[in-house]
Amino acid sequence: MRPRHILIAGQGATATVFATHLQRAGVQPVLLRRPGSPPHAHALHRLRRRHAPESVTVHLPSVTHLKELPRRPDQFWLCLPSQALLDGWLGEQLQALGNATQVVSWTPDVRDRTRLRQYYAGPILQGMVTFSAFRTPQPFTDLPAGTAWYLPATGAVVQRCPAGRDLARLLRAGGLPALTSRDLPWLAARVNALLTPSAAALEHCDWSLQALRRSAQLGLAARGADEALRISAHYLDHGVGRPLPRGLLLHALTRLLPVFSPMPLAPFLAQHFRKLAPQTRLMLDSWIELGHRHAQPCQALQ
C-alpha cells in the first residue's frame, strides 16, 4: 500500500529534494524541524551540465513535534547526519512514534542501525542518498536563496525487500530515479569507506584536488579506506571481496570528477564536508573504536 503521509526529520537540502519528489508522487510530506529553527523557503534549483539550472518553487509544511500532526505518519524518514542519532531530541520523536511506523534511515554510519534500536523497535529500512544537494547562495555559485541539487545518475538506493521496492517505485513516480540493492548495508559501507577517509585527506590538502593528487595524503586515504572497509566487513559479518587498487581509483577520481561536475567541485566539496565535519569525525571514530575492539588495523584512520 502506497504511503500517503511521510514525516521527514530535517529541513536541509537532502530533505527538501526528497520532499519535493514525494509531493510530485502524490504523497503529503511534512518536514520535522527542531524547536527554534524557523521554516525555510523552498526554491529548488536543479543543476545540469551544459544547461542553465532548472528552478521551481515548492511549498513544504513543517512541524516541530509529532504531536502537531493531525494523524500518525505512514513513514518517518531520517534525513539527518549520523550524530543526530545520538541526540535526545530525535530519540524523543522516535519513542513517541510507536513501533508500527516504517522508519527509513538515510544516515551513513555503519553503526546507525544499532543506534536507532536504542529508541525504536519497529521496522527500519536503510537507504543511501546518491544525489548532491546544498543550500544557496554560496560563494561558488550565483544561484538565489534556496536548495541546489545535482543528479549524476540515480537519486537513491534502498534495500531490496518489499518495503524497499515500494519506496523506490514511489520516488520514481515523483521523478527521482531510485534503485534497490540486495545488500545495501554492504554497498553503503563500501562507498563510505572510500569517501570518508578521502574527505579527511582532502581537508589536510586545503580542499585542493590537485594538491591531494600530489601528496602523501592520497596514499594515506587509500590505506584508511582499506582499513575502514575491513572493519565494516567484520562488523557486518561480511566478506571483504576482491581488493581494489584504491590509490589508483582515488587518483583517477580527482581527475575525472571535476570534468563531470556542474559546479566548481573543490569549493563545493569544501563547503559540503565542512558542514559535515562532525559526521566525518564520528564515522572515523566509529571505525577506529571498532578496529581496536576487534583487533583490526586502523593506523591510517587515526
Write the pLDDT tens digit of every residue in 9-25: 998 999 999 999 999 99
Reported confidence tier of residue 273, pLDDT bands at 50, 70, 90: very high
Instruction: Kindly state the cell numbers that stand for 220.
Output: 594515506
**Domain 5-182: homologous superfamily in CATH:** NAD(P)-binding Rossmann-like Domain (3.40.50.720)
Q: How far apart are CA 167 and CA 181, in angstroms?
A: 12
Residue 285: count of CB within 10 angstroms of its CB:
13
Q: How far apart are CA 287 and CA 284, in angstroms?
A: 5
Length of the chain: 302
Reported confidence tier of residue 164, pLDDT bands at 50, 70, 90: very high
Mean pLDDT (whole number) for 220-242: 95
Question: Running DSSP on this structure, what letter comes out for residue 4?
Answer: S
Cβ-Cβ contacts under 8 Å for 211 (sequence gap 6 or more): 205
Cell 525555510, located at residue: 40
Q: How far apart are CA 227 and CA 13, in angstroms?
A: 31
Q: How far apart are CA 154 and CA 152, in angstroms?
A: 6
Task: Name which residue leads in pLDDT, 48 or 37.
Answer: 48
SS3 138: strand
Mean pLDDT (whole number) for 77-83: 97
Residue 274: count of CB within 10 angstroms of its CB:
11
Write the pLDDT tens digit of every residue in 166-191: 999 999 999 999 999 999 999 999 99
Write the pLDDT tens digit of every residue in 121-142: 999 999 999 999 999 999 999 9
Q: How far apart are CA 122 and CA 117, in angstroms?
A: 9
The structural domains of the chain, with segments of one domain joined by +, span 5-182, 185-293
